[in-house]
Structure 1
Amino acid sequence: MQTPQPIGIFDSGYGGLTVMKEIVKALPQYDYVYLGDNARAPYGTRSFETVYRYTLECVKWFFDQGCPLVILACNTASAKALRTIQQNDLSGLAPDRRVLGVIRPTTEVIGNYSASGKVGILATAGTVASGSYPIEIDKFFPGVEVYQEACPMWVPLIENDEHGKPGADYFVRQHLDRLLANDKGIDAILLGCTHYPLMQDKIKAFLPGNITVLSQGEIVATSLVDYLHRHPEMEARITRGGQRRFCTTDDAVDFERHASLFYGRALQAEHIDLGS
């Protein structure tokens, strides 16, 4: 029997499940293992060094599970840790394996959704502070103006299942008004946190109809399909058992209760200790 070599999908908590849901929908044949580092979440307010250290520990865990490919389905980890892991760690750790993020696939296409050349980014404070989105968007769409807004209250609202209630309206309108005050020509807004798709309908309700709101799940899934097509040597290594394994560094029962909100269906989780 072939040893499983699943695609690893990582997030500091639950949000990456919105990305995993779209990846599994696009590529259902593969095996997957998801890890939420819930015991140390949130990552958004932590330093670059801390996020890098935590993310690297989790990447090593994925490699121990046999994953040849790991997706950092976390904007903060992608912004603060991915480049260092790719450039400094992989060659000594596992030169035949790959770690990808969610920022580059999004920045490769976002300019195509804006007629005005003015786009907005809604994200965590850590992602905004990293400057990753303006830097990466400039590589692909140098003429596009990028405006960012940190939304520190949105993740707690979502994780406490308060995002659909009237009390959340104030915090949604506050940040949308701040973002649009930068330039009334903004006509495309990216939800730069994988939690935010759960509030997409509410966000759209407070925006003019001409503004396109983009979430990352479908974009990242489409990019992964293309990546595996371009790298058949990697695609051939991933096992096709249709298995989905869900892990958390915190309480498994609590993870299951919250995770179904993000994944769209009930799931069974297991607790893991990193490094054990």
Structure 2
Amino acid sequence: MHNTRPIGIFDSGIGGLTVFRSIAGQLPGHDLLYLGDNSRAPYGNRSFNTIHQYTWECVQWLLAQGCPLVILACNTASAKALRTIQQKDLPVTHPDRRVLGVIRPTAEVIGEYTHTGNIGVLGTQGTVASGSYLLEIKKFFPEISVHQQACPLWVPLIESGEYDKPGADHYVKLYLDELLQRSDQIDTILLACTHYPLLQHKIEAHLPEGVKVVAQGDIVAKSLTDYLQRHPEIDQQITRQGTRRFCTTTDDTTDLDQHASMFISEEVEFEFIGQM
């Protein structure tokens, strides 16, 4: 048993490590536990019920490890499972624990980046189909127009380690062209998937000058820091030994360790916990 009560950080794969990196930078003393459901990734094209089932199973595992708080560092899970978990699952099983997502904190600030009032959102099929960003951004910035584009091939490219190969450029340009055809006024593009920062240099290379690309890691980490300041009853439960633990549902940890180190610029050793 690990004698810690860490912040749990969950993603369907390794993309959530971009959020993990930012949280570790903002809260270096807090213990962190990462879980990637790599054996069942990607989630983006799965049904609402399946995404909820998979996400809740992984959240329950993190809660069983003693996590007082779990961050869904996955836009698809945040869009399709978070509300049910917060409103129906947690109150019954763990009323003293908290699960937070990445969509709301991003929506709260994304409008501050645009000058034209036109934002592009790049995400998985599940995130885009949910309409979550349309609804959440409208709450905080009703005057802004949001243009969405699903990028179903990007997560497989990243999870397979092909994201930095020349062949990835074709698929980056393909989805960007489709997005920019929706409006020539888009001046801000949100990477609404925590995997996508690994493609950011390629994305920026195919965009017109002056278009900003916004990743979520630092936004989510800052929002989490603010949340813990406002909820000391949660923050005080989290242990502070500076531990970092990485877990996965796939037994192919060698390749996973190599790919993961590219996300957070340090060596990572994943533990195989078995399949859910």
Q: Is the 8 A contact 2:13 2:159 kept in 1?
A: no
Equivalent residue number for residue 98 of structure 1: 98
| CA 262–77 in structure 1, closer or farther in 2 if over 3 Å, else same | same
AA in 2 matched with 1:207 = L
Q: Which moved more, 1:110-119 or 1:165-174?
A: 165-174
**How large is the RMSD of aligned CA atoms in angstroms?**
1.2
2 CA distance for matches of 1:215 and 1:61? 28
1:135-190 residue CA offsets vs partner (Å, 9 max, x unmatched): 11111111111110011111122222222222111111111111011110111100
Equivalent residue number for residue 261 of structure 2: 260
The SS at the match of 1:108 is helix
Q: Is the 8 A contact 2:42 2:156 kept in 1?
A: no
Q: Is the 8 A contact 1:58 1:274 kept in 2?
A: no
Q: Is the 8 A contact 2:189 2:213 kept in 1?
A: yes
Equivalent residue number for residue 24 of structure 1: 24
Shift of 1:274: 5.5
2 CA distance for matches of 1:48 and 1:102? 18
2 CA distance for matches of 1:14 and 1:93? 27
Percentage of matched positions with identical amino acids: 62
The answer on 1:114 being equivalent to 2:111 is no
2 CA distance for matches of 1:86 and 1:106? 18
1 CA distance for matches of 2:170 and 2:98? 41
Equivalent residue number for residue 216 of structure 2: 216
1:50-100 residue CA offsets vs partner (Å, 9 max, x unmatched): 000011111111110000000000011001100010011111111111000
1 CA distance for matches of 2:94 and 2:61? 12
1 CA distance for matches of 2:248 and 2:264? 14
2 CA distance for matches of 1:238 and 1:261? 27
Q: Is the 8 A contact 2:116 2:187 kept in 1?
A: yes
2 CA distance for matches of 1:54 and 1:127? 16
Equivalent residue number for residue 135 of structure 1: 135
Shift of 1:8: 0.1
Q: Is the 8 A contact 2:107 2:136 kept in 1?
A: yes
1:211-259 residue CA offsets vs partner (Å, 9 max, x unmatched): 1100010110111111111111111110000001110010133321221
- Give the TM-score taking structure 2 as reference length: 0.96
The answer on 1:89 being equivalent to 2:78 is no
Number of residue pairs matched?
274
AA in 2 matched with 1:269 = F
2 CA distance for matches of 1:38 and 1:160? 11
1 CA distance for matches of 2:158 and 2:53? 26
The answer on 1:63 being equivalent to 2:57 is no
Equivalent residue number for residue 164 of structure 1: 164
1 CA distance for matches of 2:92 and 2:167? 49
Equivalent residue number for residue 244 of structure 2: 244
Q: Which moved more, 1:251-260 or 1:12-21?
A: 251-260
Q: Is the 8 A contact 2:5 2:68 kept in 1?
A: yes
1 CA distance for matches of 2:274 and 2:96? 25
2 CA distance for matches of 1:159 and 1:40? 12
Q: Which moved more, 1:246-255 or 1:6-15?
A: 246-255
Q: Is the 8 A contact 1:86 1:99 kept in 2?
A: yes
Q: Is the 8 A contact 2:121 2:191 kept in 1?
A: yes
